Structures are given as structure tokens and as C-alpha cells.
Amino acid sequence: MRAIQGTETVGDIDRTPSPRALLGLDALNFTLADVRDGLGPYLAIYLIAVRGPDQGWNEATTGVVMTIAGIAGLVAQTPAGALIDRTGHKRAVVIAAAVAVTLSCLVLPWISNFYLVTATQSLAGVAGAIFPPALAAITLGIVGPAAFSKRIGRNEGFNHAGNAVAAAIAGSTAYLFGPIVVFWLMAALAILSVGAALLVPAREIDDDLARGLDCEDAREPCEQPSGWAMLAENRPLLLFAVLCATFHLANAAMLTSVGQLLTHISGKEHATSLVAICIVAAQCVMEPIAVFVGRKADTIGRKPIFLAAFAVLAARGVLYTLSDHPFYLMAVQCLDGVGAGIYGALFPVVVADLTRGSGRFNVAQGAVATAQGIGASLSASLAGFVIVSHGYGAAFLTLAGIAAAGFALFLFAMPETGPGGPRRQPRPSRPAVATPAR
């Protein structure tokens, strides 16, 4: 049924989510900001600065742990998307994943064995695979396709604001209490995210719209989901997956590598605080960028904005090599706010463009995120081994070169998917099958 607060929904027109639902989306994106990525760059700082070479931890071993955890997460991406497509209990799935990520990180201060550390971070990677498709699906199910681009930009704005606040708290308290404060901060945010998830009314999440089905007339049942072969036959979607992998292969290790470099330059006493400042600065840039992209993606187009993300990423890698002064490195890190802000706001929008009407939006997100995860997980190991063998400058230039290759591929091969781009082929007609009212 598509009646929300007395307003009948016809397709993606005139959906009127309640203020409570919109407030819940804001709060959920804000509180999950730090939880959804696990320890992120803090993991490398903790293992190198606190555990250190005496316990067998250096850039290479840390990179291996992050790669294995990334592989576990990417294997879970497509099943996570399929789960979100099928389940009518999206809020409960988000809550369970938040608790799992937090518990896997809270045990880290009490273990130092390589295999145990790898296992806990792999669990965090698997649970973290739930968040991107779940948040996008809940959003699409509440606001509908017409308002999706703008709302995703707002989601990303609150996500970046949450990251900035969490990093500011971590940076200021780590100076007094050490890197372990990050673990307790994550626990607090996880508790708040549970309350935020419960704030979103379950009855306002349209499960058909949430999976990308076209529901053009509220008096008629939605079309049924396409077969799984749709994913393999959608060439623009496959190309976009390759581009996402390329972006994260270039991007994922940059902040981690900067954190490791700052650890060597400034000492472990200041490394966590300096990286927190880097994160705060980047997140402060990401917030307005994401909101801007959400508002302008339908008018400017997806492609030129995405090209800007690749260009800034390549420039950032080169600029890191020009100086190793801590303040300079932190200033360059602000450019992460441009590239990552664009990527986060456009990723679900482009996937929605390429899968609209198929009913496979979330599993497609998972499949593309799997490719993205491959790039991210390989990035840590690639950068770690280049750093050990040739130094930080060579690692940054390698990552910049990968970003430049991604720019060229996007420019010459990827079509515009938004309004004004090539029209998608219509789906073969099929008789509608009634779905039970919820």
C-alpha cells in the first residue's frame, strides 16, 4: 500500500514523508558515519604506534590485515544487497550490523595476535557491507526516485558532518587518553545509531520502491524483479563497477599512508590527533560538496561531476610528494573532501539510474560495491609494499597514476546516465503479478 499520512503516492510524484522519517534519515546518517567504516585509518595508527615492530606490526603487515578484512567485506557486498532487496526489516538489519562492527572493534585493545586481529576486522568488514545498500534503500523507499538525488546529497552531508564531529572528538581526546579513545567513541555512536534507526517509521519505507521497482500507478501492482542475468547484461553497469574499483584502488590507501607518514614524522603521541585533524578538514569540505552534488546532479549531469572527482584524486596524489611537513600534508588532505564527497553522493544515484525498474537496485549496489571493495582492499597492500620498497613518494605517485587512468576511462567510455543521457532500453513487457499489501 502506498498511502503515507493520507497522501496517495502515484509513482515517484507527491510522496510526502513525515518530518519524523526525514529527521530519522538525518540522524541515522550522522550517527552511522563513524561506525560504518570501522576503525578505518585509526587501525593502522593503532597497530603501528601502539603495537609496533616489537609485536610484529609494520606498514606491510598492517596492509595485509586491511586487505584481508576488505576481501571479507567485498565478498559480503552482493549478498548484503540481495538481503536488503528481500527483507522487510531493514531497520533491524542496520541495527544488527552496527552492533557487530562495534563489538569487533572494542575487543582489539585486548588482542595482538595477527590472526585474531584479522578475524575481528574481517567481521567488521562483513557487517559494514550492510550499511551502504541499506541506507540507500531506506532513502529510496521513503522519498521515491524523483527526490532521490537531492536526498542522497543530504544524506552524504550528514554522513560527513558525523565523521567530522567524531574525528574532532577523537583527535581532542586522543591527545589526553591515547588512541584507545577511538574504540569507546565508536561504542557510543553505535548506541545512538540504534535510536536513530528506530526513529524512522517502518511503515513509511516502501519495500517495492526501495528495491528499484517502477510503481507508476498506485492503483496497479508493481512490476516484478528482473532476473539476475540483468546484472551481467547491463554493460554500463559493468563499466561503472570497473571505474568504482579504479577510484578506490587509487583513493583508499591515501589517508592511511598519510597517517603512517605522520606517525614517523611527528611520533605516535601526536599521530592520532593529526590524522583526526586531516579527517575533520576533509569532512568539512565533503559536506557542502555532497549537498551541492545532490542538488545539481540532475541539471549538470553525472558524468562531468564524476570526472572532477577523478581529476582531484590524481592531483592529490601528486601534491603529497611535494613536501612532508605535517601542516602541508593536512592541507592537501582537504582535497579528499572534493573527490570523496562527489563519489559518495553520486554512487547510489548512478546505480539507481542504471537499474531503475529492474527491482535489483540493492543487489546491483552490492555487486558494484564488491568491485569497489576489490580496489580498496588491494590499495592498502599495494601502497604498503611500495612504501616499504620505494618510499612514500613512490606510493603516492602510483596511486595518482591509477586515478589518472580512471579519469581517461570514464571520459571516453562511460555514458551520461542522468537526464539528457542515452535512454535505457525498455524492459520486456510482462503481466503484472499482484503483491501482498503491507
- Compute the CA torsion angle 387, 251, 310, 160 (nearest 10 deg): -140
Give per-residue burial for 288-314: e unless 16+ CB within 10 Å, then b.
ebbbbbbeebbeebbbebbbbbbbbbb
Q: Dihedrals φ, ψ of 7, to 5°?
A: -105, 120
Tell me the three cell numbers of residue 336. 579528499
Fold category of 18-200+229-413 in CATH: Growth Hormone; Chain: A; (1.20.1250)
Give the pLDDT confidence of 91-113 residue by residue, as tens digits: 999 999 988 888 887 888 788 77
pLDDT score at 10: 39
- Per-domain residue ranges of the chain: 18-200+229-413
Res. 401: pLDDT tops 70: yes
Average pLDDT over residues 227-236: 72
pLDDT score at 225: 52
Res. 219: pLDDT tops 70: no
Alpha-carbon span 289 to 284, nearest angstrom = 9
Single-letter amino acid, residue 133:
P
The partner residues of 13 in beta bridges, in order of sequence, read: 10
Question: CA gyration radius for the chain?
Answer: 21
Res. 349: pLDDT tops 60: yes
Q: How many CB atoms within 10 Å of residue 229?
A: 8
> Alpha carbon 427 to chain centroid distance?
30
Res. 155: pLDDT tops 80: yes
- 47-61, 122-136, 200-214, 401-415: range with lowest mean pLDDT: 47-61
Res. 220: pLDDT tops 60: no
Average pLDDT over residues 187-201: 89
Q: Which is more confident, 314 or 166?
A: 314
In the block, residue with C-alpha cell 541539471: 299
- 194-203, 204-213, 310-319, 420-429: range with lowest mean pLDDT: 420-429
pLDDT score at 313: 96
Q: How many CB atoms within 10 Å of residue 86?
A: 12
pLDDT score at 430: 42
Alpha-carbon span 188 to 185, nearest angstrom = 5
Average pLDDT over residues 419-435: 47
Confidence of residue 218 (pLDDT cuts 50, 70, 90): very low
Angle between helix 326-333 and 302-319 (nearest 10): 170
Res. 156: pLDDT tops 60: yes
Average pLDDT over residues 328-339: 89
Burial environment of residue 184 by CB neighbours within 10 A (0 to 12, 13 to 18, 19 or more): middle
Q: Which is more confident, 184 or 364?
A: 364
Q: Which of 333, 310, 306, 336 is nearest to 247 (CA)?
A: 310
Res. 316: pLDDT tops 70: yes
Average pLDDT of the chain, as a whole number? 81
Confidence of residue 431 (pLDDT cuts 50, 70, 90): very low
Q: Which is more confident, 376 or 248?
A: 248
Bridge-based pairing state of the strands 7-8 and 3-4: antiparallel
